[in-house]
């Protein structure tokens, strides 16, 4: 694809702002704002998309509610990565038949990754007739036009064509909280890991222009955001599709020049193309958090090959060693899948032994879930679920023991944290994060939210540290 075919032209974007005005005018006679309930599932990329939906809705005059029963518009912004996530969405869609019965004018929309799967949109078309609007991630930028069409025609609208994917700049965003922000630096994925649905629903890799990313981060820092996470399915591919020689490490180094008190994080980083240059740049840049999310998925070379991950266990270990060498104290986290089709117990135990060998600070652990349309879903999968669960429990046992011991080691220390919000815990009402993104629950006043402070760690468990302002 040529760059000019990827970028949505300004005129097309401007026409969406006109559709926003049109929808706003439809509700102008009402005394109160119309209410939208936006329910987002899945990864941070989807959270960022949900914030854009809310930005466009705000322009259309909507206010927000968490209660689908009182909403004029309900949007389910969905995730397709595992079967369980999809089942939850179908469950929620079922519940919405009742809210629609109570309020027949209510509009129900399904968007996000599930909406982009032909299997799902066909099922919704045939069996979930109370759903008025279905659109995939490719159509997100034209949501105002699609919603306007639903209101004007009173008919169901589906916008789910398979596409390469595009880049739309300048969509308004509603962010939560004022301390943490998500910034997509690229969209899509070209890696086709054999188990994964993401490349099928999010299209090919597209990098945003570095100037747009820099401007957005600068605005966020100036607005007081303190913890900014750069997002991409694999940030190490950033720049491959740009017409200049420029990579993710170059982007990090330029962002680091923005003055202010803030931290930059990023995710995810695929081990196959994580470079020494990236780690050297992280080490050198004061604003870049010394935290690395480097998903390994499996500790066995045969399984890694079947997963189409394109690195070996030895190469993974070498990368982590190098990163730790140039960044002593680096916090390393990862994603891992147990029970890939054909995986044996011995192979799963290779994964457990890799976890022991690396000593991760935290792990996101998943049992393999077949995704129709992916290569792995066609493979024989003889191991029973109960057997996979046993391997999975073993993995959790090892990681939980490690996390608990690691956390206990912090008790008595003084750490610098960013207070990022309320915790919901009566005794430790504030939530904060260390530079390595470790959760610390705190005593103290809400006025501390948004500040970097020193805290004394007074307690810990497997999942969090507890402390008081020092
Ligand atoms: N692009 C990121 C990367 O490669 O690190 C990950 C994106 S994916 C949304 C997040 C995690 O979900 C993956 O790292 C993988 O561990 C897990 N995952 C993806 N597909 C899965 C499947 N079919 N079954 C179980 N877990 C899966
Ligand atoms: Fe999925 Fe692999 Fe792409 Fe990550 S890199 S989104 S796991 S295909
Ligand atoms: Fe994210 Fe789920 Fe889509 S993990 S990219 S929302 S399939």
The alpha carbon of 295 and the centre of ligand 2 are apart by a number of angstroms equal to: 10
Q: Is the pLDDT of residue 89 over 90?
A: yes
Mean pLDDT calculated for residue range 392-405: 97
387 and 439 share a domain? Answer: no
Q: Which of 191, 201, 303, 373 to mutate to test the pocket of ligand 2 (most atoms within 8 A of CB)?
A: 191
* Angstrom distance (rounded) from CA 63 to CA 58: 7
Query: Quick one: which ligand is closest to 366's CA?
Result: 1
398 and 254 share a domain? Answer: yes
The answer as to whether 223 is a domain residue is yes
Q: What confidence score (pLDDT) does residue 2 get?
A: 87
Q: Which of 192, 196, 370 to mutate to test the pocket of ligand 1 (most atoms within 8 A of CB)?
A: 196
257 and 316 share a domain? Answer: yes
* Angstrom distance (rounded) from CA 428 to CA 268: 31
Contact assessment for residue 91 and residue 175, using Cβ atoms and an 8 Å cutoff: no
Query: Quick one: which ligand is closest to 268's CA?
Result: 1
Q: pLDDT category, 1, cuts 50, 70, 90?
A: confident
Q: Is the pLDDT of residue 406 over 90?
A: yes
Contact assessment for residue 140 and residue 203, using Cβ atoms and an 8 Å cutoff: no
Residue 279 belongs to a domain with what CATH number?
3.80.30.20
pLDDT tens for residues 184-201? 999 999 999 999 999 999
Q: In the structure, which protein residues have their CB atom closer than 6 angstroms to any atom of ligand 2?
A: 189, 191-193, 196, 198-199, 233-234, 270
**Helix axes of 10-26 and 44-59: crossing angle, nearest 10 degrees:** 60
The answer as to whether 283 is a domain residue is yes
The alpha carbon of 39 and the centre of ligand 2 are apart by a number of angstroms equal to: 24
Average pLDDT along the chain: 97
* Angstrom distance (rounded) from CA 70 to CA 416: 42
Atom of ligand 1 nearest to the CA of 367: 25
Mean pLDDT calculated for residue range 24-46: 96
185 and 301 share a domain? Answer: yes
Q: What confidence score (pLDDT) does residue 128 get?
A: 97
420 and 401 share a domain? Answer: no
* Angstrom distance (rounded) from CA 460 to CA 409: 9
The answer as to whether 175 is a domain residue is no
Q: What confidence score (pLDDT) does residue 175 get?
A: 96
The answer as to whether 152 is a domain residue is yes
The answer as to whether 196 is a domain residue is yes
As separate numbers, helices (DSSP H) first and strands (DSSP E) second, the chain gives 14, 19
The alpha carbon of 196 and the centre of ligand 1 are apart by a number of angstroms equal to: 6
Atom of ligand 3 nearest to the CA of 45: 1
The answer as to whether 168 is a domain residue is no
Mean pLDDT calculated for residue range 126-152: 98
Share of the chain above pLDDT 70, in %: 100
The answer as to whether 167 is a domain residue is no
* Angstrom distance (rounded) from CA 461 to CA 417: 18
Q: pLDDT category, 120, cuts 50, 70, 90?
A: very high
* Angstrom distance (rounded) from CA 116 to CA 89: 14
For residue 417, give the 3-state DSSP assignment: strand
389 and 419 share a domain? Answer: no
Ligand 2, atom 4: closest residue by C-alpha: 233
Query: Quick one: residue 224, left, alpha or beta (phi over 0 = left, psi -120 to 50 = alpha)?
Result: left
Query: Quick one: which ligand is closest to 351's CA?
Result: 1
The alpha carbon of 81 and the centre of ligand 1 are apart by a number of angstroms equal to: 7
pLDDT tens for residues 264-284? 999 999 999 999 999 999 999
260 and 383 share a domain? Answer: yes
Strands (E), 79-119: 107-112
The alpha carbon of 312 and the centre of ligand 1 are apart by a number of angstroms equal to: 18
The answer as to whether 164 is a domain residue is no
Q: What confidence score (pLDDT) does residue 139 get?
A: 98
Distances (CA, A) of 295 to 63, 143, 192: 38, 33, 15
352 and 436 share a domain? Answer: no
Residue 146 belongs to a domain with what CATH number?
3.40.50.12160
Query: Which of 309, 345, 353 is CA-nearest to residue 195?
Result: 309
118 and 186 share a domain? Answer: no
Mean pLDDT calculated for residue range 115-121: 98
Query: Which of 388, 406, 424 delimits the end of a domain?
Result: 406
64 and 186 share a domain? Answer: no
Question: Which tokens in the block code for residue 243?
Answer: 């017409």
Element (H, E) at 88: helix 83-102
* Angstrom distance (rounded) from CA 61 to CA 148: 13
200 and 251 share a domain? Answer: yes
449 and 423 share a domain? Answer: yes
pLDDT tens for residues 270-321? 999 999 999 999 999 999 999 999 999 999 999 999 999 999 999 999 999 9
* Angstrom distance (rounded) from CA 372 to CA 117: 10
Work out how many domains the chain is built from and give that number. 3
Q: Domain limits at 40?
A: 3-159
pLDDT tens for residues 423-452? 999 999 999 999 999 999 999 999 999 999
């Amino acid at each position: 694809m040529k760059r000019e075919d990827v970028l949505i032209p300004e005129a097309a974007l401007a026409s969406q702002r006109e559709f926003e005005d049109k929808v706003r005018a439809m509700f102008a006679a009402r005394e109160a704002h119309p209410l939208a309930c936006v329910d987002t599932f899945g990864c941070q990329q989807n959270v960022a998309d949900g914030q854009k939906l809310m930005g466009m809705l705000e322009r259309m005059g909507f206010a927000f509610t968490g209660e689908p029963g009182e909403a004029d518009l309900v949007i389910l912004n969905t995730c397709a990565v595992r079967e369980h996530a999809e089942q939850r969405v179908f469950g929620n869609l079922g519940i919405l038949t009742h809210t629609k019965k109570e309020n027949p004018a209510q509009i129900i929309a399904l968007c996000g990754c599930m909406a982009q799967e032909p299997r799902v949109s066909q099922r919704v078309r045939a069996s979930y007739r109370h759903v008025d609007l279905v659109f995939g991630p490719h159509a997100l930028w034209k949501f105002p036009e699609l919603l306007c069409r639903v209101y004007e025609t009173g008919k169901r609208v589906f916008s789910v064509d398979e596409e390469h994917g595009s880049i739309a700049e300048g969509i308004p965003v509603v962010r939560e909280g004022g301390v943490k922000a998500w910034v997509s630096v690229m969209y899509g994925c070209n890696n086709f890991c054999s188990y994964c649905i993401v490349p099928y629903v999010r299209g090919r890799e597209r990098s945003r222009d570095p100037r747009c990313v820099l401007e957005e981060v600068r605005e966020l820092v100036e607005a007081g955001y303190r913890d900014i996470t750069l997002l991409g399915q694999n940030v190490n591919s950033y720049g491959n599709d740009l017409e200049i020689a420029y990579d993710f490490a170059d982007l990090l180094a330029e962002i680091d020049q923005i003055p202010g008190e803030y931290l930059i994080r990023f995710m995810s980083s695929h081990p196959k193309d994580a470079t020494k240059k990236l780690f050297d740049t992280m080490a050198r840049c004061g604003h870049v958090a010394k935290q690395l999310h480097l998903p390994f998925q499996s500790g066995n070379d045969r399984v890694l090959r079947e997963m189409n991950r394109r690195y070996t266990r030895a190469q993974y270990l070498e990368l982590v060693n190098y990163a730790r060498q140039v960044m002593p104290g680096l916090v390393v986290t990862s994603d891992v899948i147990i029970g890939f089709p054909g995986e044996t117990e011995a192979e799963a135990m290779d994964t457990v032994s890799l976890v022991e060998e690396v000593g991760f600070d935290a792990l996101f652990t998943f049992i393999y879930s077949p995704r129709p349309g992916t290569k792995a879903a066609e493979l024989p999968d003889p191991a029973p679920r109960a057997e996979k669960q046993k391997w999975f429990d073993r993995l959790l046992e090892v990681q939980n023991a490690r996390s608990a011991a690691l956390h206990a080691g912090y008790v008595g220390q003084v750490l610098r944290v960013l207070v990022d919000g309320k915790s919901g815990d009566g005794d430790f009402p504030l939530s904060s994060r260390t530079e390595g993104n470790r959760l610390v629950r705190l005593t103290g006043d809400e006025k501390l939210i948004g500040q970097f402070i020193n805290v004394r760690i007074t307690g810990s468990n497997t999942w969090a540290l507890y402390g008081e302002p020092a």
